[in-house]
Chain A
């Protein structure tokens, strides 16, 4: 086959020489790191371009640059289909389990059958982020550049700076991206922007940064038109997005709540133990679910309202189940104990939920802390004193 014929064929085929879409041209790492051209580069076992002794034809950027570049870019082919193992991995991540296992090796990945003109999508090395990207690109041909964000999602890592200009520039260089694609455009998730200065990346590497959509699920549409609609650019916090946070929220309070509930059971019986559990569940389960529907804007006041609603039936039960002949003030003290302590706990948990939302500013949260923490403490102290009062007076045989 002459050089000309090879060129002609290359036009009609993918960069590896196989019919378009029939194979994955990304050569496995171990194969690419060797000096000789492997016989079966393609998973499709399609027609090959020459053999290992033949001078490598100028048909694709991969082959062309093999001899020129000392360290050949390692491209790992990856499937866009999530298997059951990935699903289990996601469930564990959502439960806050196996957090160290949620890391993807940073580097360059290929999905489908990308060529030198295929888009490059950048993401974090948190498995949920990576899987969201690759599953949304399932039927497409693209490269995925994974940055080392220490297993943290794009937005959090961008805020911290690990998903940042420096790491991106470093990763573009270390993967030899310029020799893989013939264009100078990379697509970053919009939420990576707090860590990346697009103009500096351009200056350092020549790559123009395009900010893609907020959500990976919008990637196919974005790639078709290369335009992000206003809806793609805006973060949302719908019921599902809030609900998936509940397991981790619950987990964060689980240990203390079990110990404290048992202790309260021994001290005061089922009512204080039940109130405590209710306060925790209100703050970690009901609050995320009902967040947009609770009155006021501040999280503390929203939590307080929710806490009072949840406390009311307990207070009523506490008042009505007081035994015959018990003085009225004991009932009132019990009601105060429940109506003050329970909402204080719920409000505090609600305030702590600010970090899980995609819209609270630091200025606002700081204001909330200074404004409401003293109130919460006051509520809690009042409630606990009331509860102790009823307990002590009973112990002293006053009723």
Chain B
């Protein structure tokens, strides 16, 4: 269903011809977007990509391209209103604001603190 679904498309691009089948991408992806059967990886569930950038960062041959960023409306609206560079978790105004102001962004509490 594409109606009321803004998440069907994303910026993930996989250049399969550059892939050497090291399996790092399938190892680091938290949404099982990649699968490796045979000598090269393939996109199994590209629509599940959340653009965290882990696969791109860990691909030794540069076979993956994605505009990584934090999918946080709060951060994006905040940066739009203040005209500042888009904040990430831990920057001023978000989780990092805690350092001085005690303001809390819940990203530090999300499942991500698990490990």
How many A residues face the partner with a CB closer than 8 A? Answer: 83
Q: Given A154-B113, A217-B114, A241-B111, decide whether A99 and B71 contact each other with a Cβ distance below 8 A.
A: no
CB proximity of B111 to chain A, nearest CB, Å = 5
Interface status of B16 (Cβ within 8 A of chain A): no
**CA A344 to CA B94, docked complex, whole Å:** 23
**5 A-B interface contacts by CB (under 8 A):** A196-B57, A214-B115, A235-B31, A241-B111, A358-B50
Q: Which residues of A line the B interface, CB within 8 A?
A: 93-94, 96-97, 99-100, 102, 123, 126, 128-129, 132-133, 149-160, 162, 189-191, 193-199, 211-217, 219, 228, 230, 233-237, 241, 244-245, 248-249, 251-252, 296-299, 301, 351-352, 354-369, 371, 373
Contact of A358 among B3, B55, B102, B110 (CB under 8 A): B110
What are the residues of chain B within 8 A of A151 when measuring CB–CB?
A: 98-99
What are the residues of chain A within 8 A of B99 when measuring CB–CB?
A: 99-100, 150-151
What are the residues of chain A within 8 A of B50 when measuring CB–CB?
A: 358-361
Contact of B110 among A197, A216, A245 (CB under 8 A): A245
> Do A364 and B7 have beta carbons less than 8 Å apart?
yes
CB-CB nearest in chain A for B68: A194
Interface status of B40 (Cβ within 8 A of chain A): no
Contact of A252 among B57, B68, B104 (CB under 8 A): B104
Contact of B57 among A123, A128, A195, A228 (CB under 8 A): A195
> Do B98 and A99 have beta carbons less than 8 Å apart?
yes
> Do A296 and B51 have beta carbons less than 8 Å apart?
no
> Do A93 and B109 have beta carbons less than 8 Å apart?
yes
**CA A160 to CA B52, docked complex, whole Å:** 10
What are the residues of chain B within 8 A of A123 when measuring CB–CB?
A: 115
CB proximity of B114 to chain A, nearest CB, Å = 4
Q: Which residues of B line the A interface, CB within 8 A?
A: 1, 3-7, 9-11, 24, 27-32, 48-55, 57-58, 60, 67-77, 88-91, 94-96, 98-99, 102-115
Q: Given A361-B51, A363-B11, decide whether A355 and B72 contact each other with a Cβ distance below 8 A.
A: yes
Known contacts A100-B99, A235-B111, A362-B69; 11 further A-B pairs (Cβ under 8 A) = A99-B98, A123-B115, A128-B108, A128-B113, A155-B52, A156-B89, A193-B52, A194-B68, A199-B60, A233-B30, A296-B5
Contact of A355 among B28, B68, B71 (CB under 8 A): B71
CB-CB nearest in chain A for B3: A296
What are the residues of chain B within 8 A of A214 when measuring CB–CB?
A: 30, 114-115
